[in-house]
């Protein structure tokens, strides 16, 4: 009967056609099936799409992933996190320091002196070899040249808001008759220069300098304000650190244009141009001036000592010829829009970027992928891969499936999968600790958290190892302080606080808290009770909330918990410091600058030291760290600071998370040795765990190779 | 006949008008705003929001907005707020992507359901009937997304082949047979998933319709006069059982545009259903309303076609 046969045959045939197609599709094992080029391309997966592909404007991680391929910075960090030249071959860091002649201070052995006498005096001291004042000799030896700047006059205007009527601005004209100034050029940056010189020129030589008398105001202002202006306009002493970059010659942008010093200057100017609304602007605020000495040399002068500034030059350099005001005007004209409101933000460059990185931009399909092609003229030699594709796959399970199928080359493993996937023989796996940590912070303005014994006891009562084992599936490490664990700033001598509920009770008893009949801790008839909060939507923090509550309950503390929606949590509780204790995490950069999070001046509402940590010694170290240009000294200060913070326990430092990534085993490093022989090498992560450091040398082989050291 | 057709068309146009009004109102009453005019969106200043509002006519009263929208729709000028692309072009592009899924799924459903359903009607109460009943209800009650994930995980971890999307990513330079076969492979899982649900439901209907017809006296007559059983079931019985399926067949037409939101989302299939879903999330009113309108038209056309088909299938019906 035909009807029946048709009804059964048609779907069967259809299914057979569908099923046989399996033999045509590339599988994980045979990724080249029908597509031999697959070995020459690397496909990465990402949860989110990029925003703007412009290193000075973008703020999301997807954009910076692409930018790191398309653009190149002046410097970056090498395997051991030291700075390394990229677009520069070398650089020098030195300093110009200035101080005004103090016309009223007496110099020991000289009395009140004119500028030339002071210069001669310092020069003479330099030659005297037997100065037994500590540090002074080093400081003097560091001075390369001394110069007198004659007195000069200038006038400036300042706009001041009228305190009564806020909309009124009054303009104050300030005439300055600056006294003679002495300029010292130093070999190395020296934050103790004036401190040490004061031992030579008299203890109060710099302190007693008052600039007020050299200023005249029109209209007149209060004396208090005058002092503020004087300190700002003619400060007694001034440090101007200088970065001198020698650029790499013959580096080309993707369009063939040769890179030079004007591109560096242009990138800087674009960042500080308020019209561009660059999120990076704060990093460049300390820059006083960027000067092009010649097309291969840039001199960057800073307003003050600020060592984290060096790292900011890893920013991708923009091509001036494509984005300067003339080019933007042309583009605005082309689109028929008003050139006055047309800024770099509107430029089509952001979807079609050109830099001097190893890969050049090819195509961007929103929410699907971004494709980059190899740049054959890359200064360090072109990468091995022909193509780099950045796929946008918002769903993690889909990412995982695509990885198993060979259509993504790497996958970031979820903590609960690590046990299974890191032993899978088909993949190579890498893991490391992330740049950040999770903590419980205590509001030190409130009782009883102002007592260090209480904070210590609370830390002792929590079994962090259990949290790591059960909440993080073992994918975490203990941390004892505020620095990144892989850097040498982190003080490894400090031991984490051990789990010791009995010891915690003893400490609490010392602080006056004893258990009552019901088992709750009590002091003067008041129960130990507080609320621990965190933001909702983060399952890890939610789990820690429960663990901490339970651990503290066990020693008799009545802890309430609360989960708040992120914006409410930040705006209402954290920013206003309205909390007892909270669970949060910090993501950090490599620079050890802790000013915003730990300095006592940052404890006001809306600032990041919301736990209210105040410690003079720590403040001093924090400032010293950001002013120190010598790595070893910086490390020493950091270790001291780490010790202080760990001792004070303003946070219970919980853990730093571990990440694991898996990669197709056929991906290896391909290199050519000095004899011209090709050889392959296994991908080895750097000290910090970064496995993609040598990405440009990667290539995929048709078969997974066996290396000698694997046995 | 002609009178019926013209009457029916007039009725349907009136229905369509009400559908358009109601859907327009519902969408504007729904909470949330298009991200371009959302005052909470940090990306835009109040001036920009105001400019967008003007451009989208959101500052006008609702009835004026309604007129603007349908004027644009009928002149083919509607553009999506998200990317300023013509909505009709977008829908056409997505429609073409959904079409193969729809065709394969429909063929599988509307063929396999009949032998399965008829057989279980014939062997009512036997082990075959019981097991198909069991599996049908299993397929109906398991949520589609769950089944989809299980299937994906099984196929990928077992065979290490890509199954997500419309084609294997990065297959750009491959020869044409490979590309074609690759596309066919990617059709397999989503269409099977779509079909299993459909077969489970439809074979139940076939079974109950057949049971009703099989009890009729003319079937007994046909059996008694010695006709082969196949002929009895597939000719005499099936023809008479087909009538309700005519209605159902008319109603699969709107499925063309609705697509399958869940399956398309799970398989990252850039089809109609997913576009409509994303448009709803982004409050992209022009896209939502156009899809809505087109599917309303298709529903009405579908019922119209099934009315006509009735005439053809059942000579007793005279309109």
The string of pLDDT tens digits covering residues B120-137 is 998 888 999 999 999 999
CB nearest B152 (choices: A1, A369, A401): A401
B276 neighbors B288 (Cβ within 8 angstroms): yes
Interface test with B, best of A8, A27, A34, A566 (most B CBs within 10 A): A34
A125-139, A488-502, B289-303, range with the lowest pLDDT: A125-139
Cβ distance of A402 and B160 shorter than 8 Å: no
Tell me if A398 and B235 make a contact (CB, 8 A cut-off).
no
Q: Using an 8 Å CB-CB cutoff, list chain B residues near A389.
A: 169-170
Look up tokens 């300055």; give the residue.
Answer: A176
* pTM for this entry: 0.81
Question: How far is residue B180's CA from residue B96's CA, in Å, rounded to a whole number?
Answer: 15
- Cβ-count burial A511-526 (b if 16+ within 10 Å, e if not): bebeeeeeebbbeeee
* Burial grade of B80 (CB within 10 A; 0-12, 13-18, 19 or more): buried
Chain B residue closest in CA terms to A29: B160
User: Counting Cβ atoms within 10 Å, is residue A277 exposed (0-12), middle (13-18) or buried (19+)?
Assistant: exposed
Beta strands A237-247 and A181-186 are unpaired
Nearest CB partner across the interface for B170, out of A41, A366, A397: A41
CA distance B149 to B191: 14
Residues shown for chain A = 711
Distance CA B310, CA B305 (A): 9
In chain A, the residue whose alpha carbon lies closest to the alpha carbon of B171 is A35
A571 contacts chain B (CB < 8 A): no
In A269-338, beta strands by DSSP E: 287-294, 297-302
d(CA B207, CA B124): 9
Of the partner residues B161, B173, B179, the one whose CB lies closest to the CB of residue A405: B161
Name B219's Cβ contacts closer than 8 Å, sequence gap at least 6.
B213, B232, B236, B237
Name the A residues in 39-58 with CB < 8 Å from any B CB.
Answer: 41, 43
Secondary structure (DSSP) of A537-586: T-HHHHHHHHHHHHHHHHTT-EEEEEEE-HHHIIIIIITTT--SEEEEEE
The three-class DSSP label of residue A644 is helix
- The more confidently predicted of residues A549 and A688 is A549
Q: Which residues 6+ apart lie within 8 Å of A161 measured at CB?
A: A168, A169
Contact of A323 with A344, CB cutoff 8 Å: yes
Residues of chain A contacting residue B235, judged by C-beta atoms under 8 Å apart: 1, 3
Residue closest to A186 by CA, chosen among A70, A121, A98 = A98
CA-based nearest distance A601→chain B, Å = 29
The pLDDT of residue B175: 82
Nearest C-alpha neighbor of A87 from the set A380, A385, A384:
A380
Instruction: Retrieve residue A394's tokens.
Output: 């918002």
Nearest chain A residue to B176 by CA distance is A34
Domains, chain B, ordered by start: 2-74 (no CATH), 88-287+306-318 (1.10.3720.10)
pLDDT, tens digit (0-9, with 9 covering 90-100), for A626-648: 999 999 999 999 999 999 999 99
Listed in sequence order, the residues at least 6 apart from A64 whose beta carbon sits closer than 8 Å to its beta carbon are A55, A58
pLDDT of B319 above 60? no
Q: What percent of chain B has pLDDT over 90?
A: 19
ipTM greater than 0.90: no
A29 touches chain B (CB under 8 A): yes
The reported pLDDT for the residue numbered A711 is: 41
Domains and CATH numbers, chain A: 17-73+358-433+660-710 (3.40.190.10), 93-241 (no CATH), 436-659 (3.10.105.10)
Instruction: Quote the distance between the C-alpha of residue A486 and its chain's center.
Output: 14
**Binary contact (B171, A406; C-beta < 8 A):** no
| Predicted confidence (pLDDT) at residue A536 exceeds the cutoff of 90 | no
When pLDDT is averaged across residues A173-193 and rounded to a whole number, the result is 89
Beta strand pairing status for A558-564 and A529-535? parallel
User: Using CB atoms and an 8 Å cut-off, which of residues 255-274 of chain B contact chain A?
Assistant: 268
Q: Give the span between the Cα atoms of A182 and A96, in whole angstroms.
A: 10
Mean pLDDT of A217-242: 84
Residue with tokens 């069991």, as numbered in its chain: B134
Angle at CA A194, nearest 5°, toward A188 and A197? Answer: 100
Query: What number of CA atoms fall less than 13 Å from residue B262's CA on the CB side?
Result: 10
Q: How far is CA B1 from each of CA A290, B7, B12, B302, B317, rounded to the nearest angstrom?
A: 87, 10, 16, 18, 11
Beta-carbon contacts of A11 under 8 Å, excluding residues fewer than 6 positions away, are B107, B108, B111, B112
**pLDDT the model gives residue A73:** 94
Task: Give me the residue from B182, B188, B231 closest to A19, CB to CB.
Answer: B188
Write the pLDDT tens digit of every residue in B162-214.
888 888 887 767 788 888 888 999 999 999 988 888 899 899 999 999 998 88
The whole-chain average pLDDT of chain A stands at: 88
Query: B81: pLDDT confidence band, cut at 50, 70 and 90?
Result: confident
Q: Do B160 and A19 touch (CB under 8 A)?
A: no
Residue A126 has pLDDT above 80, yes or no: yes
Q: What are phi and psi of B315, to 5 degrees?
A: -65, -15
User: Which among A588, A661, A221 has a CA at the least distance from the CA of A414?
Assistant: A661
| Of residues A360, A356, A355, A386, the one with CA closest to residue A372 | A360
């Amino acid at each position: 009967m035909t009807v029946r046969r048709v009804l059964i045959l048609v779907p069967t045939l259809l299914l057979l056609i569908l099923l046989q197609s399996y033999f045509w599709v590339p599988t994980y094992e045979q990724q080249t099936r029908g597509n031999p080029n697959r070995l020459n391309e690397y496909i990465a997966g990402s949860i989110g799409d990029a925003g703007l592909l412009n290193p000075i404007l973008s703020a999301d991680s997807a954009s910076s992933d692409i930018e790191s391929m398309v653009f190149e910075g002046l410097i970056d960090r090498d395997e051991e996190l030291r700075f390394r030249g990229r677009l520069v071959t070398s650089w020098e860091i030195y300093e110009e320091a200035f101080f005004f002649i103090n016309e009223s201070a007496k110099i020991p052995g000289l009395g009140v002196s004119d500028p030339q006498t002071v210069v001669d005096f310092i020069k003479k001291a330099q030659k005297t070899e037997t100065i037994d004042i500590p540090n002074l000799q080093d400081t003097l030896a560091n001075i390369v040249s001394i110069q007198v700047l004659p007195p000069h006059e200038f006038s400036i205007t300042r706009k001041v808001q009228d305190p009564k009527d806020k909309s009124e601005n009054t303009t104050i004209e300030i005439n300055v008759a600056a006294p003679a100034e002495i300029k010292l050029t130093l070999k190395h940056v020296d934050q103790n220069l004036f401190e040490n010189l004061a031992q030579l020129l008299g203890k109060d030589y710099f302190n007693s300098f008052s600039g007020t008398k050299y200023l005249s105001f029109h209209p007149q202002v209060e004396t208090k304000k005058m002092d503020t202006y004087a300190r700002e306009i003619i400060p007694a002493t001034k440090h101007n650190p200088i970065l001198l970059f020698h650029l790499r010659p013959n580096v080309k942008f993707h369009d063939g244009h040769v890179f030079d010093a004007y591109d560096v200057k242009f990138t800087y100017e674009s960042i500080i141009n308020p019209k561009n609304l660059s999120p990076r602007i704060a990093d460049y605020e300390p820059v006083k001036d960027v000067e092009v000495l010649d097309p291969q040399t840039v001199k960057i002068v800073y307003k003050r000592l600020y060592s984290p500034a060096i790292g900011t030059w890893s920013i991708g350099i923009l091509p001036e010829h494509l984005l300067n005001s003339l080019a933007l005007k042309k583009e605005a004209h082309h689109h028929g829009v008003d050139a006055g409101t047309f800024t770099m933000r509107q430029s089509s460059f952001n979807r079609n970027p050109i830099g001097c990185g190893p890969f050049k931009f090819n195509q961007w399909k929103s929410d699907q992928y971004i494709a980059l092609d190899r740049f054959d003229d890359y200064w360090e030699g072109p990468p091995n891969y022909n193509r780099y594709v950045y796929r946008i796959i918002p769903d993690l399970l889909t990412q995982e499936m695509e990885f198993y199928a060979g259509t993504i080359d790497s996958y970031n493993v979820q903590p609960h999968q690590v046990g299974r996937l890191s032993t899978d023989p088909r993949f190579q796996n890498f893991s490391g600790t992330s740049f950040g940590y999770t903590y419980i912070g205590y509001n030190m303005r409130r009782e009883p958290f102002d007592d260090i014994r209480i904070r210590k006891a609370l830390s002792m009562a929590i079994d962090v190892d259990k949290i790591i084992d059960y909440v993080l599936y073992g994918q975490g490490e203990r941390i004892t302080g505020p620095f990144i664990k892989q850097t040498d700033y982190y003080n490894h001598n400090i031991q984490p606080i051990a789990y010791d509920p009995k010891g915690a009770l003893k400490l609490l008893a010392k602080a006056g808290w004893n258990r009552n009949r019901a088992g709750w801790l009590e002091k003067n008839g008041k129960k130990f009770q507080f609320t621990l909060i965190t933001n909702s939507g983060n399952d890890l923090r939610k789990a820690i909330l429960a663990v901490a509550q339970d651990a503290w309950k066990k020693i008799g503390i009545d802890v309430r918990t609360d989960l708040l929606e992120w914006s409410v949590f930040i705006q209402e509780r954290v920013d206003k410091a309205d909390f007892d204790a909270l669970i949060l995490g910090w993501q950090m950069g490599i620079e050890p600058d802790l000013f915003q999070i730990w300095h006592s001046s940052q404890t006001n509402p809306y600032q990041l030291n919301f736990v209210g940590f105040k410690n003079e010694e720590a403040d001093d170290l924090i400032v010293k760290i950001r002013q120190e240009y010598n790595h070893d000294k910086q490390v020493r200060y950091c270790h001291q600071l780490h010790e202080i913070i760990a001792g004070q326990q303003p946070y219970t430092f919980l853990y730093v998370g571990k990440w694991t990534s898996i990669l197709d085993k056929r991906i290896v490093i391909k290199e050519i040795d000095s004899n011209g022989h090709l050889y392959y090498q296994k991908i080895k992560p750097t000290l910090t765990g970064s496995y993609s450091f040598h990405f440009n040398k990667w290539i995929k082989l048709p078969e997974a190779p066996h290396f000698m050291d694997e046995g | 006949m002609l009178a019926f057709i013209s009457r029916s068309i007039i009725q349907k146009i009136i229905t369509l008008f009400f559908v358009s009004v109601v859907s327009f109102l519902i969408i504007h009453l729904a909470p949330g705003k298009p991200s371009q005019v959302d005052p909470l969106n940090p990306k835009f200043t109040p001036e920009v929001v105001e400019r967008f509002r003007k451009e989208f006519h959101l500052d006008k009263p609702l009835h004026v907005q309604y007129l603007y929208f349908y004027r644009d729709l009928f002149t083919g000028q509607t553009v999506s707020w998200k990317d300023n692309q013509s909505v009709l072009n977008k829908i056409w592009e997505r429609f073409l992507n959904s079409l193969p899924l729809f065709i394969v799924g429909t063929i599988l459903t509307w063929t396999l359901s009949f032998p399965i359903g008829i057989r279980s009607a014939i062997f009512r109460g036997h082990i075959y009937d019981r097991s198909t009943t069991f599996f049908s209800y299993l397929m109906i009650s398991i949520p589609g997304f769950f089944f989809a994930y299980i299937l994906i995980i099984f196929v990928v971890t077992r065979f290490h082949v890509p199954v997500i999307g419309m084609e294997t990513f990065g297959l750009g330079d491959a020869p044409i047979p490979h590309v074609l076969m690759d596309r066919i492979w990617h059709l397999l899982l989503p269409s099977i998933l779509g079909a299993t649900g459909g077969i489970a439901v439809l074979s139940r209907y076939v079974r109950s319709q057949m049971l009703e017809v099989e009890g009729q006296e003319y079937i007994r007559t046909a059996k008694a006069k010695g006709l082969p059983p196949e002929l009895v079931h597939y000719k005499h019985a099936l023809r008479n059982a087909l009538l309700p399926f005519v209605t159902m067949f008319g109603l699969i037409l709107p499925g063309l545009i609705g697509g399958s939101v869940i399956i398309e989302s799970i398989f990252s299939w850039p089809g109609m259903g997913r576009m409509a879903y994303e448009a709803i999330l982004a409050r992209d009113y022009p896209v939502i309303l156009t899809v809505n309108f087109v599917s309303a038209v298709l529903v009405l056309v579908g019922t119209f076609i099934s009315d006509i088909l009735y005439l053809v299938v059942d000579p007793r019906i005279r309109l």
